[in-house]
Amino acid sequence: MTRAFQFNPGFQLGVATAAAQIEGGKVDSNWFHFSEIPGAILDGSHVKRANQHWELYEEDIALLNELGIKHYRMSLDWARIEPEEGVFDEAALERYRTEIQKMCDLGIHVFLTFHHFSHPQWFEKKGAFLHYENVDAFLRYVEKSLHYVADLVSDYCTVNEPNVYAVNTYFFGEWMRYKKSLRNTLQMMNVFIALHIRTYELIHQFRKERGYTNTRVSFAHHVRHFTPATSWPHDQWGARLLSFLFQEGLFRASAKGEFSYPFKNLANAEKGQYIDFISLNYYSRGATRCFQDITLSDVPKNDLGWEIYPEGLIEEARRCYALLPLPIVVSENGCCDNEDLFRPRYIYDHLRLMTKSELPFEAYYHWCFLDNFEWAVGELARFGLVHCDYETQKRTLKKSAHFYAQMIRDHGVTESSYAAYVEPCRYHRDEVNIVRDYEVD
């Protein structure tokens, strides 16, 4: 059987990052304050270190260029831009503009996210995304930022994974350490839906007034593939319910203005179209035991114990496409593989299925460009194509980075690159889980 394949003409390969996960520095943000709480971050690391990208961004852009990467998803850190309510830091905005300009000069296309899990602490104190009236502050920040970047960037993501942020904060009570509350989880999702729709309209209007006709906006929708753990009816209901609450209901409301219980139309949006492309972040499959989300045993897993199930990406993309047939961008896909033992296979397996499918996939952004601060897990989990030694901040290309660069050059995978990079890779089964290893230490 041939292992080689070619991407469709025009298909784009890029990499993704998020500001708070790579920039480092003393920034008055929710994640800075959360990192200060003893025990909040699994390995005791702090968001203030990360990759020092704020200072080292030119080195990182040079690496992108060396690898031939022409598509880069990044985010702005609102906490840097508006450190005090109503007070904007023009130098921070200029610095973001310079970074983006440098990429444009090298022909690197930027896909820009306005909220990727981090925001100013003053906003957190106001209740962040629990209150609809707080959306105005977000819109003000977006508009201010557009003055600095709108001429350089045409593709935008309003908000990254509203479902993940809401669930980790209020359903599991893990991020920011609030009391668990299903009510607040849903409320936050509702505010995010309204925020997305209003930001979508704002970005379009802003660029239209300045004569740009190529604006494309979406939100990065985290899709998990839910499957019933057994054929028992309650496991099947569990899969349907989780899939609706976490994904389909949120997608219908945010993308089309179609609301059904328990989603609420806080912005009084009309039915319509509020995305210009489908933007999906996909990592793993979850098995439902009643309404619990578990991981099956004896399946391939990454170092955090997440199942590797490439078919799930296609199935979830198909569902979204059935709801709204638009071009599909995989805005994140990747794996925690601390030794870089199986990442090339993970990438290959997902891209191969995407290429073979009937769906209009137009781009793939690998998560992540660099090993980075993995939220509450800290520096323990390495998702990068590029290794980072956090002590020295030295960047080293991993084997997967070379594979990625080769795929970009070949616009696909050749037999020889398959043999060199993918063939030697093996997935783990149950024996590896870095969180467990860490607890044993």
Instruction: Kindly state the smallest distance separating residue 120's Cβ from ligand BGC, in Å.
Output: 18
Q: Please report the sign of the dihedral spanned by the C-alpha atoms of residue 251, residue 195, residue 17, residue 295.
A: negative
Instruction: Kindly state the smallest distance separating residue 289's Cβ from ligand BGC, in Å.
Output: 23
Of 340 and 374, nearer to ligand BGC (C-beta) is 374
Amino acid sitting at position 192: F
d(CA 412, CA 409): 8
Instruction: Kindly state the smallest distance separating residue 372's Cβ from ligand BGC, in Å.
Output: 7
Of 164 and 229, nearer to ligand BGC (C-beta) is 164
Instruction: Kindly state the smallest distance separating residue 304's Cβ from ligand BGC, in Å.
Output: 8
Instruction: Kindly state the smallest distance separating residue 290's Cβ from ligand BGC, in Å.
Output: 24
d(CA 441, CA 437): 7
d(CA 205, CA 107): 26
Angle at which helices 182-209 and 135-149 pack, to 10 degrees?
30
Of 187 and 331, nearer to ligand BGC (C-beta) is 331
Of 274 and 369, nearer to ligand BGC (C-beta) is 369
Instruction: Kindly state the smallest distance separating residue 222's Cβ from ligand BGC, in Å.
Output: 5
Of 207 and 222, nearer to ligand BGC (C-beta) is 222
Instruction: Kindly state the smallest distance separating residue 375's Cβ from ligand BGC, in Å.
Output: 6
Strands annotated E in 295-433: 328-333, 361-367, 386-389, 394-397, 412-413
Dihedral of the CA atoms 286, 287, 289, 295 (nearest 10)? -80
Of 235 and 374, nearer to ligand BGC (C-beta) is 374
d(CA 411, CA 299): 30
d(CA 219, CA 280): 8
Of 56 and 304, nearer to ligand BGC (C-beta) is 304
Cβ contacts of residue 366 below 8 Å, gap of 6+? Answer: 13, 14, 15, 16, 333, 334, 347, 385, 404
Of 207 and 366, nearer to ligand BGC (C-beta) is 366
d(CA 94, CA 147): 10
Terminus-to-terminus CA distance in the chain, angstroms? 44
Strands annotated E in 98-149: 109-115
Of 307 and 332, nearer to ligand BGC (C-beta) is 332
Residues that bind ligand BGC (CB under 6 A): 18, 21, 160-161, 164, 222, 281, 332, 367, 374, 383
Of 163 and 199, nearer to ligand BGC (C-beta) is 163
Cα 73-76-78 angle, rounded to 5 deg: 155
Of 113 and 406, nearer to ligand BGC (C-beta) is 113
* 400 closest CA partner among 424, 418, 384: 384
Is cis: bond before 388, omega within 30 of 0?
no
Please name every residue paired with 166 in a beta bridge, in sequence order, or none if there are none: none
Instruction: Kindly state the smallest distance separating residue 85's Cβ from ligand BGC, in Å.
Output: 25
d(CA 172, CA 158): 24
* 287 closest CA partner among 342, 349, 319, 243: 243
Instruction: Kindly state the smallest distance separating residue 167's Cβ from ligand BGC, in Å.
Output: 11
Is cis: bond before 262, omega within 30 of 0?
yes
Instruction: Kindly state the smallest distance separating residue 208's Cβ from ligand BGC, in Å.
Output: 29
Instruction: Kindly state the smallest distance separating residue 303's Cβ from ligand BGC, in Å.
Output: 11
Place of tokens 């840097």: 80
Amino acid sitting at position 229: A
